[in-house]
Amino acid sequence: MEVPGDFPDVGDYAVIGNCRTAALVSNRGSVEWMCAPTFSDASIFGAILDRDAGHFSIAPGEDATVSRAYIAATNVLQTAFTTPGGVLRLTDCLVLPDERIPELYPEHELLRRVECASGEVEVEVSFAPRWDYGRRRPRYAKRGALGWQCLDCSFGAILRSEIDLAEDKPRARLAGKVRLKAGEARWLSFAYDEADASVIVPFGEDAGARLQSTVAWWKNWSTRCSYQGPYRDEVLRSALVLKLLNCATSGAVLAAPTTSLPEVSGGPRNWDYRYCWIRDSALVLHAFLRLGYHEEAEGFLEWLLHATRLTWQRFQVMYDLYGEVKLDEKILPFLGGYRGAKPVRIGNAAHDQLQLDIYGELMATVSHYVEAGGTLDTVEAAMLAGVGRHVMKLWRLPDQGIWETRREPRMHTFSKAMCWVALDRLGRLADKFAVPIDRKHVAAECDAIRAEIEDKGYDEALGSYVAYYGGKETDASLLLLARYGYRDPGSPRMAGTWDYIAKTLCDNGLIHRYRDDTGYDGFAEPENAFAPCNFWAAEYLANAGRYDEAQQLFERLCRLANDVGLFAEEIGTRTGKPVGNFPQAFTHVSLISAATALYQRKTA
């Protein structure tokens, strides 16, 4: 069955989740992306990548204007459809049950409540999961009052509905409709258990209690946010996104819950982001620390030290949720792609690239963790020493850089600077803990890196650091040299770099990560503005003492979030709309970082 209508804009989706998987719900009331059982498994609702790859829609049977919002401080979504006949309100969540009650709950439950708020509205339901990214269609078996069991999948999946549904065999879906009057409501629950007998949950008060426990869980988590500065709503929404992507069973943080949402409409830059990037995650950990979420930060650090043991002392660019290192890239040729953007990929071939900056980001994060009161045991200290020795061996090599270019390795200035950060922080950690490393050697290598960067990574004629040695191009990641303490933000070299970036990478008020017309990343096609870079710019300006400019930029960027405050990886240069995998942890963590920089500058 094809979902009625064309692909919604990426920004027309909102995300809900239970810290083990996530679902994207469109503003037409349709769940069009969800992987099961967990984030990194195959999708069961995949209409965002192909209109026949699965959906679960609940919507009015007539045209409606839509408004939606999360229940305050939660990841529970409410969508209101205003039709000529009345107003329909849809509430969606992935349930987080109250575990203090000794009851059996399904391992995962997508709970949906549709209520007629006024007038009289016809509601249409279409439930059409597709297993294995849409490769296989399900069969259904009616289990009496227990609901509809979905067959032919490896887990026990059951749909219960207070709206009568019938099987539409040719379209392999369950469908039904009902006319609701003001005050009437219906529940629908899609629940599944990975390996045990299914647990089937009642409706009525019980369903209301599950919804309330989910709301309470998120609100309770939100109250732990210690940030009290400006833009608190935006910061809290970003923190909620990060928490939603923080896998409860391993501590890992996903880059995004989706795959292959294109960086440019119809283009080839379609990547699978359902993995844990060391770089992004280190920044997420830092954000959690800044916001007072020490438990999450510790959980992630544990994951990090555990996951990377398989490759220690070398770090892989990314790992899966449980530290798996083989993430071979595959193409799913049977999926048409979001608005025709092919290929759809799963896995990520960038996993075995050499990207030297990750060592600096990791070491800086451990350093922040220690500054926030964390400690390192002797095993962890020895691991970090091993990483430091590895950096001293590698830093002279060319790499693919922070942007994971798919071309020959180059001597990226930012990568070198992050090697400097790694060794600098290692030296500082060695001041506090018994890190078994030759301190003099580390200091000498730090000096050597800095000397090389200042010699080859800075162009006197341009008055700017350059993206790679000997080049004339710049790269927005160089703005982070100030954040990591490599250069004072007010220094002439950083000021010149900012000017050069603003001059060459800014288009329609938005900053690109690099020039996309020079084949910088190995692709010839243009791309949109990389959202995190724009928040880095705001952060840089704040740290450089240019508060008003920083504030203006930050506020303009916040207005480019979608209607529920979510950002994708990129922002359409012409449209200002979210583009690419969605929602993106890297963007939200950059928002938090910029907001805290503004706050610090203001209070200073």
Partner 1 sequence: MTQTAAEIATILIWGFAATATLSAVMFGAQRLGYSRLSIPFLIGTMFTGERSGAHALGLVFYLLGGWLFAFIYYFIFASIGRTGWELGLLIGSIHGLVLLVMMLPLLPYVHPRMASEYEGPIRGRRLQPPGFLALNYGYRTPLTTIVAHALYGLILGARLALT
Among residues 193, 361, 475, 527, the one that binds partner 1 under rule CB under 8 A? 193
Q: Distances from the Cα of 432 to the Cαs of 23, 169, 418, 422, 485, in angstroms?
A: 44, 67, 21, 16, 19
Cα separation, 414 vs 453, whole angstroms: 9
Nearer to partner 1, 154 or 212 (CB): 154
**What binding mask, one character per residue, do residues 155-174 give for partner 1 by CB under 8 A, x or -?**
xx-x----------------
Quick one: which segment of 85-93, 143-151, 231-239, 439-447 binds partner 1 (CB under 8 A)? 143-151
What does the alpha-carbon distance between residue 399 and residue 390 come to, in Å, rounded to a whole number?
15
Stretch that binds partner 1, among 142-150, 245-253, 266-274, 551-559 (CB under 8 A): 142-150
Cα separation, 334 vs 134, whole angstroms = 8
Instruction: Give Cα separations from 598 to 184, 435, 540, 545, 565 (angstroms).
Output: 47, 35, 10, 10, 19
> How far is the CA of 127 from the CAs of 158, 175, 286, 444, in angstroms?
11, 6, 40, 63
Distance CA 260, CA 451 (A): 40
Least gap, CB of 320 to partner 1 (angstroms)? 17
Q: How far is the CB of 190 from partner 1 (least distance, A)?
A: 14
Residue 581 sits in the site that holds partner 1 (CB under 8 A): no
> Where does 407-546 have alpha helices with state H?
413-432, 439-456, 480-483, 492-505, 531-543
Nearer to partner 1, 195 or 379 (CB): 195
Long-range residue pairs from 439-448, CB within 8 A, at least 24 positions apart, any chain: 441/392, 442/388, 442/392, 445/392, 445/395, 446/420
Structure tokens at 485: 């303490």
Task: Please report whether residue 62 would count as binding partner 1 according to CB under 8 A.
Answer: no
User: Under a CB-based contact definition with an 8 Å cutoff, are residues 44 and 33 in contact?
Assistant: no
* Region near partner 1 per CB under 8 A, out of 85-93, 196-204, 309-317, 354-362: 196-204
- Indicate whether 144 belongs to the interface with partner 1 (CB under 8 A): yes
With CA atoms as reference, report the closest residue to 234 among 551, 573, 576, 602: 551
Measured from the CB atom, the residue of 36 and 568 that comes closer to partner 1 is: 36
Q: How far is the CB of 166 from partner 1 (least distance, A)?
A: 18
CA gap 476, 531 in Å, rounded: 11
Q: Which of 183, 197, 440, 603 binds partner 1 (CB under 8 A)?
A: 197
**Contact between 145 and partner 1 per CB under 8 A:** yes
Query: Would you count residue 200 as binding partner 1 (CB under 8 A)?
Result: yes
Q: Which of these segments, 192-200, 262-270, 527-535, 554-562, binds partner 1 (CB under 8 A)?
A: 192-200
How many whole angstroms separate alpha carbon 14 and alpha carbon 157? 23
Does 149 help bind partner 1 (rule: CB under 8 A)? yes
Tokens linked to 50: 């192909």
* Minimum separation from the CB atom of position 151 to partner 1 (A): 7
Write down the least CB distance from residue 236 to partner 1, Å: 31
- Residues binding partner 1: number (CB under 8 A): 24
* Shortest reach from residue 107's CB to partner 1, in Å: 8
The token pair at 76 is: 């529970």
Which CB atom, from 146 or from 524, has the smaller least distance to partner 1? 146
Distances (CA, A) of 255 to 152, 369, 601: 30, 21, 29
Interaction between residue 401 and partner 1 (CB under 8 A): no
The SS3 of residue 136 is strand
Q: Does 198 bind partner 1 (CB under 8 A)?
A: yes
Nearest distance in Å: CB 345, partner 1: 24
| Smaller CB separation from partner 1, 103 or 371 | 103
Asked if 498 contacts 556 with a C-beta cutoff of 8 angstroms, the reply is no
One-character DSSP codes across 113-158: EEEEEEEEEEEEEEEE--BGGGTB---EEE-GGG-EEEPSSSSEEE
Q: Which is closer to partner 1, CB of 145 or CB of 604? A: 145
- Stretch of 195-203, 344-352, 437-445, 536-544 lying at the interface with partner 1 (CB under 8 A): 195-203
Strand-pairing partners, residue 131, are 136
Smaller CB separation from partner 1, 105 or 484: 105
CB of 195 to partner 1, least distance (A): 4
Q: Closest CB to partner 1 among 36 and 261? A: 36
Torsion of CA 530, 339, 335, 519, to 10 degrees: -40
- List Cα–Cα distances, 213 to 21, 401, 512, 575, in angstroms: 18, 44, 42, 39
Q: Which stretch binds partner 1 (CB under 8 A): 48-56, 141-149, 179-187, 281-289?
A: 141-149
Rounded to a whole number of angstroms, the minimum distance from the CB of residue 183 to partner 1 is: 24
Could you give the angle at the alpha carbon of 591 between the alpha carbons of 590 and 596, nearest 5°? 100
Which of 69, 72, 151, 166 binds partner 1 (CB under 8 A)? It is 151
Contact present, 157 and 189 (Cβ < 8 Å): no
State which residue, 69 or 151, has the beta carbon closest to partner 1.
151
Tokens standing for residue 293:
């979420």
SS3 of residue 158 by DSSP: strand
Pair of tokens at residue 263? 């960086």
Q: Which of 143, 179, 407, 441 binds partner 1 (CB under 8 A)?
A: 143
Query: CB of 359 within 8 A of CB of 315?
Result: yes
Binding of partner 1 at residue 604 (CB under 8 A)? no
Q: Of residues 73-132, which lie at the interface with partner 1 (CB under 8 A)?
A: 102-105
Angstrom distance (rounded) from CA 217 to CA 71: 12
CB nearer to partner 1: give 198 or 316. Answer: 198
Interacting residue with partner 1 among 199, 349, 372, 394 (CB under 8 A): 199
Q: Which of 196, 377, 454, 563 binds partner 1 (CB under 8 A)?
A: 196
206 binds partner 1 per the rule CB under 8 A? yes
Nearer to partner 1, 196 or 328 (CB): 196
434 touches partner 1 by CB under 8 A:
no
206 versus 302: smaller Cβ distance to partner 1: 206
Site residues, partner 1 (CB under 8 A): 102-105, 143-146, 149, 151, 154-156, 158, 193, 195-202, 206
